[in-house]
Amino acid sequence: MKEKLISIIIPVYNAEKYLPRCIESLLNQTYKDIEIVLVNDSSKDKSAIVCEEYAKQDSRVKFYSKDNEGAGIARNYGISKANGEFLGFCDADDYVEPDMYEKLIESVSDTYDIAYCLHTNEKSIPVKTGEIKIFNRDNIWDLLVGEVGSKPNHKADYLYGSAVWRGLYKKSIIEDNGLAFMSERVIGSEDLIFNLEYLNHCNNAIYVMDELYRHCENEDSMTHSKLHFDIENEIKLYNKINEVLGVNPRGDYKLELNRFLIKRLRNAIIRISKETNLKEFNKDYIAVKRILNDKMLREVESTYPYKLLPFKQRVFMVFMKYRLILGCMLLGKVS
C-alpha cells in the first residue's frame, strides 16, 4: 500500500491562527506517502506566508493561490492539481489523528470505493473501537439516505455525517464521472451534494468506526453566523438532493429528505435567535417569519408525521407549523 499516494486538499482562507496545527497533523501522519495541497483562496491575513513556509520546508507540501470563490471551488482547483490516486479533504481550522490516513487507506485499498471515519472535537478524547461497517450493493442506498436524514422516530436528525473531510476518495471515480463541488455560495451544503453524487457511482463503501478527524468549532467562521443563512440556497439544496437521489432511487427517501429540510430551517432559526438583540430584533423577527412562511416548508409540514419526532424537536416543530414566531425565537434562544 505504501506506493499509493494520497493527496489531501485544504482550502485556505484567513486561517493563519489554525493552519500550522492542521498542516503539522498531516505531516506527522504514520502514512508518509502523502502530498498536502494548500489552496489559498485570496486570504487577507498571513495565511499565504504560512503556506509558503511549509512548502519550503517539506516537498510534500504544494502551495497554490487563486481568486476568492469559496471553499467548494477551491477544492475543485485542488483536485485539478492533485497527483494522488486517493484524495482526502481537510479544513484549515481542523486537524487529524496521526493514524487517520493509514487506517483509511488500509480500509479502502482496491476493494472499496470510499472509506469514511468518525470525527470528534478538539476537547474530547477520540474513541477508537477498531470496528468497521461495510456497505455493499445491497445496502449502500442506506448510506446515501442516512447522510441526508433519518426517520422521524430516530433520535438524531441523520444517521451518517456528510462532510467530505471524514472520507478518502478515489480520484478515478471523481474524474471518470466529471464530479465537482458546487459553490457554497450557491447551495447550502456543497459537501453533502458531492458525497451523494460520488456515492451514486460507488459499488461499496467502508466506515471505520474510529474518531480520527478533529473538527473544531471556529466561532470566527461565517458558517456560525446568521449572515451566512440564505433560505433560497436551502431550497436549492433540498431540490438538488431530491434530484440526485431521484436519478436511480432504490427506495423511498422523502421522510429523510423532509426531516433534513426541517432540521436545516430549525437550526437557522436557532442561529438567528441566539444572535438577536434589541437593536436587530425587528430584522431578525422578519427573517424568522420569512422562514416559517416558506412555501416548501409549508408543504413539508402539511404531511410530515411530526408527532413521531423526539420531544424537543416535536415541540419546536409545532411552533414552526403554526408559525408562532416569538415562540420559535424563544426556543431558539435557549436551545
Cα–Cα distance, 86 to 70 (Å, whole number) = 23
Of 172, 187, 222, at which residue does a domain stop? 222
Residue matched to cell numbers 487577507: 44
Cα–Cα distance, 64 to 267 (Å, whole number) = 35
User: Residues 168, 267: one domain?
Assistant: no
The model's pTM: 0.93
Residue 100: half-sphere exposure toward Cβ, Cα within 13 Å:
29
Q: How many structural domains comprise the chain?
A: 2
In a domain, 241, yes or no: no
Residue matched to cell numbers 485570496: 42
Q: What Cα–Cα distance (Å) separates residue 209 from each residue in 31, 68, 299?
A: 19, 36, 37
Burial 35-65 (b: 16+ CB within 10 A, else e): bbbbbbbebeeebbebbbebbeeeebbbbbb
In a domain, 234, yes or no: no
Domain of residue 101 covers 6-222
Cα–Cα distance, 117 to 133 (Å, whole number) = 10
CB 261 within 8 A of CB 300: yes
CB atoms within 10 A of CB 72: 22
In a domain, 228, yes or no: no
User: Residues 162, 17: one domain?
Assistant: yes
User: Residues 280, 205: one domain?
Assistant: no
User: Residues 16, 144: one domain?
Assistant: yes
**H/E element, 127:** none
Per-residue pLDDT tens listing for the chain (335 residues): 457 999 999 999 999 999 999 999 999 999 999 999 999 999 999 999 999 999 999 999 999 999 999 999 999 999 999 999 999 999 999 999 999 999 999 988 778 999 999 999 999 999 999 999 999 989 999 999 999 999 999 999 999 999 999 999 999 999 999 999 999 989 989 999 999 999 999 999 999 999 999 999 876 544 444 555 788 899 999 999 999 999 877 889 999 999 999 999 999 999 999 999 999 999 999 999 999 999 999 999 999 999 999 999 999 999 999 999 999 999 999 99
Find the CATH number of the domain harbouring 191: 3.90.550.10
In a domain, 235, yes or no: no
CB 202 within 8 A of CB 140: yes
In a domain, 140, yes or no: yes
> Tell me, what's the pLDDT at 302?
96
In a domain, 212, yes or no: yes
> Tell me, what's the pLDDT at 228?
58
User: Residues 143, 288: one domain?
Assistant: no
